[in-house]
Amino acid sequence: MKKHILSFVFILFSQFIIFQSIAQEKQVFPFGVIEEIDSKELEEKRTLNIYLPQGYHLDSANVYPVIYVLDGSQYEDFPHIAGLVQFMNMYEILPKSIVVGISNLGKSRYKDFTYPSDDKQDLKDISDNGGSEKFIGYLENEVIPLMEKSYKISSHRTIIGQSLGGLLATEILFKKPYLFDDYVIVSPSLWWDNQKMVKKADNFLENLSKNTTELKKENPNYERKIFVSLGKEHPVMHKVADKLVDSIKKLEETKNGIITLFYEPILKENHATILHLAVYKAFENFYKKGKKKK
């Protein structure tokens, strides 16, 4: 009996060795590179996942726009957004672009994506909150400079955020609108802090107005594009999204082409399923002239 068991174990071990040998001979599928930042802003090490478009290493003179994806770990939105960009590149729906997945893996996205709330229910539900100012500093002072230093990039930047990531993208739009040219804001959690940010949207957007007016003087073709979408969600989510859109519309109507808004709810999707289709529609709108949807 022992002899049979030993023989079986030997066969299994041999098969494992053969499998390992075959696996080592296989080529690694190239999809992206990983950068690690020893962040002074966040006082900890953070990870970026970076997709480089086909031909990146062959054309030394070309530069590429950069798409920054919040919730960008390999287990979240980075792989499918990078795959979507690759597909749209292949069919020339949008320019070849670099995709940067900003990972929160092993960290608190609740802290990274929220500003401090005065709402007691928020503090009860999400006690680890209020770190967005530092996280935005991380983007501005560490992530973007690393990309500018290490990769062949143009000045054009897009940010994509969903849910609390959409809250953060909206906060950047309101407080530091110069950081990105295009904003893809999906199902934003603007209920945070008793809807305080969206209630003050008109005031915040004056910041955007002043910034874009100056840029327009320097570059007459300059514009900032904003895409907002959400699926079939809690009524409060629709209420705050409508408030955001209404404020942007008022600004859009007075700024002679500086702001271009696209608002496209996708009610056949829900909070969990909307992002992929929303991002596809955002890029369709951004890169097809005359297809403006509100």
Q: What is the CATH number of the domain that holds 54?
A: 3.40.50.1820
Question: What pLDDT is recorded for position 250?
Answer: 85
68 lies in a domain?
yes
What order of strands is seen across the sheet that includes strand 224-229? Answer: 33-39, 44-51, 98-102, 64-69, 153-162, 182-186, 224-229, 259-263
Can you tell me the distance from the alpha carbon of 23 to that of 89, in angstroms, rounded to the nearest whole number? Answer: 31
117 lies in a domain?
yes
Can you tell me the distance from the alpha carbon of 110 to that of 102, in angstroms, rounded to the nearest whole number? Answer: 14
Q: Could you list the residue range(s) of the whole structural domain that residue 242 is in?
A: 33-287
- For residue 1, is pLDDT > 60? no
Model pLDDT for residues 205-233, shown as the tens digit of each residue: 877 777 666 766 777 777 889 999 999 99
Question: What pLDDT is recorded for position 19?
Answer: 52
Phi, psi of 240 (to 5 degrees): -75, -35
In sequence order, the 6+-apart residues with CB closer than 8 A to the CB of 33 are 49, 50, 52
- For residue 157, is pLDDT > 70? yes
> In a 3-state reduction of DSSP, which class is residue 106?
coil
* Stretch 98-110: mean pLDDT: 92
Which of the pair, 289 or 127, is modelled with greater confidence?
A: 127
- For residue 291, is pLDDT > 80? no
95 lies in a domain?
yes
Q: Report yes or no on whether pTM surpasses 0.85.
A: yes
Q: How many structural domains comprise the chain? A: 1
DSSP 266: -
17 lies in a domain?
no
Which of the pair, 24 or 278, is modelled with greater confidence?
A: 278
- 183 sits in the region (left: phi over 0; alpha: psi -120 to 50; else beta) called beta
9 lies in a domain?
no
91 lies in a domain?
yes
Model pLDDT for residues 12-46, shown as the tens digit of each residue: 455 555 555 555 667 777 788 999 999 999 999 99
Q: pLDDT over 90 for what percent of the chain? A: 66
1 lies in a domain?
no
